[in-house]
A and B are shown apart, each in its own frame.
Chain A
Amino acid sequence: MSVQNKVIQIIADQSLIDVADVTLASTLDELGINSLGVVESIFALEEEFDIEVQFNSNVPAEGDFDISSVASIVLAVEKLVAEQA
């Protein structure tokens, strides 16, 4: 599975919806993922890809990990996988 497909799978699992209903343009909020859900998703991504994500829920927009959409998360994960390989 590609990084993108794995990320979509993880987000779908977190939001308890079908993979087919997760689009790249979706925001986590639209998918019904609240602040605790965001933190859990990040944990799942770290576990799956063996990466370390810098993320502070107090200042979510700061730092490199852009969670504003599924697409941005895929890009952020790909970047970390390449950097931390």
Chain B
Amino acid sequence: MNRVVITGAGTINALGRNVSETLGAMREGRCGIRPLKCPDVERLSIKIGGQVQNFDETNHFNRQQIALYDRFTQFTLLAAREAMAESGISFSEELAEKSGVILGTAAGGMNTWDDNYRAVYEKGKNRVHPFVVPKLMNNAATSHVSMEFNLRGPSLTVSTACASSNHAIGLAFQMVRSGTARAMIAGGSEAMLTFGGMKAWEGLRVMSKTACRPFSANRSGMVQGEGAGIFVLETYEDATARGAEILAEIVGFAMTSDASNIVLPNSQGASRAMRGALLDAKINVNDIGYINAHGTGTMANDKTECTAIIDVFGAHSDHLMVSSTKSMHGHLIGATGAVELLACIMALRDGVIAPTIGYESSDPECALDVVPNIARDARVVGVLSNAFAFGGMNAVLALKSL
């Protein structure tokens, strides 16, 4: 079994166009949730979101690329380029054949679906661009990463709603650990902030019109975001042989299914996933200093998640810091676990714990140290990153500093 480390990270999201901007924003407790800018926004009931700012696709891609790259693929490639540049790894020959890409996404090429539905059904067009299928397919982002960086090994796309990124990173971790793959690019991307995407979410009545306030007694629901988070995973041996800088070590991963409700979370499924990650990592509850929570800001999730944390950690819960960075970047759905992993790296590498902003009043059902509003300097050795998705899909990652 190999030790698995992260040697490169990249992102684009509402808080910034790269990792340094994102971590800077998290450190300062800045909010990336703003009034939405999209066509027909007046027809929306929810008018806020964590949109990527000042993004002009023509600044990054040429016309031929744009014809093939949905917004979610564009986010992926920008983040992947940053991660690969930081890592310094390059894929050729045998390494290329033994390395692959696993990415998570919930909605894939939603913008392409949306645009072409509009053309065909609303405007009555009888033809669409020939590349619509390869553009909207859920594996498009994964494929383009594999093509751009010459990864010829095992690659796939995972879809488990809000846990997609954690599942993707977890599976990639398992592959490198077991030697099935030498190195993997893993993460997630999402660009669901289209008019249609927003309308779909509005119907569920779980979104807030004002802010994302995880764990706060006056929380009023989730706020959607968009973006991508991409990481380079390799063995500790390969990384040190290359002299690569190591951001953090992934030490454990567990997946469970609630088998209970299609949207409501279940605390037992969540507890089993956290316990499973600790077991897989062979670490115990006292080794964990920080949990990046799923923390969507809904009544249901936050309460259930806190119950599960206290169930797993018992008395040690009093010494845990648990924050939800969704308060700052929104809920990136399939990409959320990936962007949130950056907060875990910041905790382990930089000794800075990201805050839960927007926290206004304490809820006795969420009686944990949620690092309210202001980031904290603290040394932690072990962290968990939680993802508890619709349909009862739970995925938890455990990481340690080196």
Which residues between 19 and 47 of chain B lie within 8 Å of chain A, taking CB atoms? Answer: 45
Min C-beta distance of B244 to chain A, whole Å: 44
Min C-beta distance of B45 to chain A, whole Å: 7
Q: Are B45 and A57 in touch, CB under 8 angstroms?
A: no
- Specify the chain A residue showing the minimal Cβ separation from B207: A56
Min C-beta distance of B287 to chain A, whole Å: 34
One of A17-25, A35-43, A71-79 at the interface: A35-43
One of B45, B208, B263, B264 near A58 (C-beta < 8 A): B208
Which residues between 18 and 77 of chain A lie within 8 Å of chain B, taking CB atoms? Answer: 35-36, 39, 42-43, 52, 54-59, 62
Min C-beta distance of A60 to chain B, whole Å: 9
Q: Are A58 and B203 in touch, CB under 8 angstroms?
A: no
Min C-beta distance of A28 to chain B, whole Å: 14
- Specify the chain B residue showing the minimal Cβ separation from A55: B205
Residues of B contacting A: mostly: loop
Contact residues on A (Cβ < 8 Å of other chain), bracket: 10 to 19
Q: Are A56 and B203 in touch, CB under 8 angstroms?
A: no
Contact residues on B (Cβ < 8 Å of other chain), bracket: 10 to 19
- Specify the chain B residue showing the minimal Cβ separation from A59: B220
B152 at the interface (CB under 8 A from A): no
Residues of chain B with a CB closer than 8 A to A43's CB: 203
Q: Are B219 and A39 in touch, CB under 8 angstroms?
A: no
Residues of chain B with a CB closer than 8 A to A59's CB: 220-221, 299
Q: Are B220 and A35 in touch, CB under 8 angstroms?
A: no
Give A56 to B209 CA distance when docked, in angstroms. 9
Min C-beta distance of A73 to chain B, whole Å: 15
Which residues between 83 and 105 of chain B lie within 8 Å of chain A, taking CB atoms? Answer: none
A35-B264, A36-B263, A52-B45 given; A58·B209 CB < 8 A: no
Give A35 to B204 CA distance when docked, in angstroms. 10
Min C-beta distance of A19 to chain B, whole Å: 25
Indicate the member of A43, A54, A58, A62 with the most B CB atoms within 10 Å: A58
Give A59 to B219 CA distance when docked, in angstroms. 8
Give A59 to B208 CA distance when docked, in angstroms. 9
Min C-beta distance of B54 to chain A, whole Å: 31
- Specify the chain A residue showing the minimal Cβ separation from B204: A39
Residues of chain A with a CB closer than 8 A to B299's CB: 57-59
Give A55 to B154 CA distance when docked, in angstroms. 45
Give A62 to B221 CA distance when docked, in angstroms. 13
Give A54 to B264 CA distance when docked, in angstroms. 21
Give A77 to B45 CA distance when docked, in angstroms. 18
Residues of chain A with a CB closer than 8 A to B205's CB: 39, 42, 55-57
B13 at the interface (CB under 8 A from A): no
Give A55 to B220 CA distance when docked, in angstroms. 11
Min C-beta distance of A29 to chain B, whole Å: 15
A39-B203, A43-B203 given; A56·B208 CB < 8 A: yes
Give A57 to B206 CA distance when docked, in angstroms. 6
One of A39, A54, A58 near B298 (C-beta < 8 A): A58
Min C-beta distance of B373 to chain A, whole Å: 20
Min C-beta distance of A47 to chain B, whole Å: 11
- Specify the chain A residue showing the minimal Cβ separation from B222: A58
Sort A-B residue pairs by CB-CB distance and give the 9 closest, nearest first: A58-B221, A57-B205, A58-B299, A39-B205, A58-B220, A59-B220, A58-B298, A55-B205, A56-B221
**Listed A/B pairs (19) with beta-carbon separation below 8 Å:** A35-B264, A36-B262, A36-B263, A36-B264, A39-B203, A39-B205, A43-B203, A52-B45, A56-B206, A56-B220, A57-B204, A57-B206, A57-B221, A57-B299, A58-B206, A58-B208, A58-B221, A58-B298, A59-B221
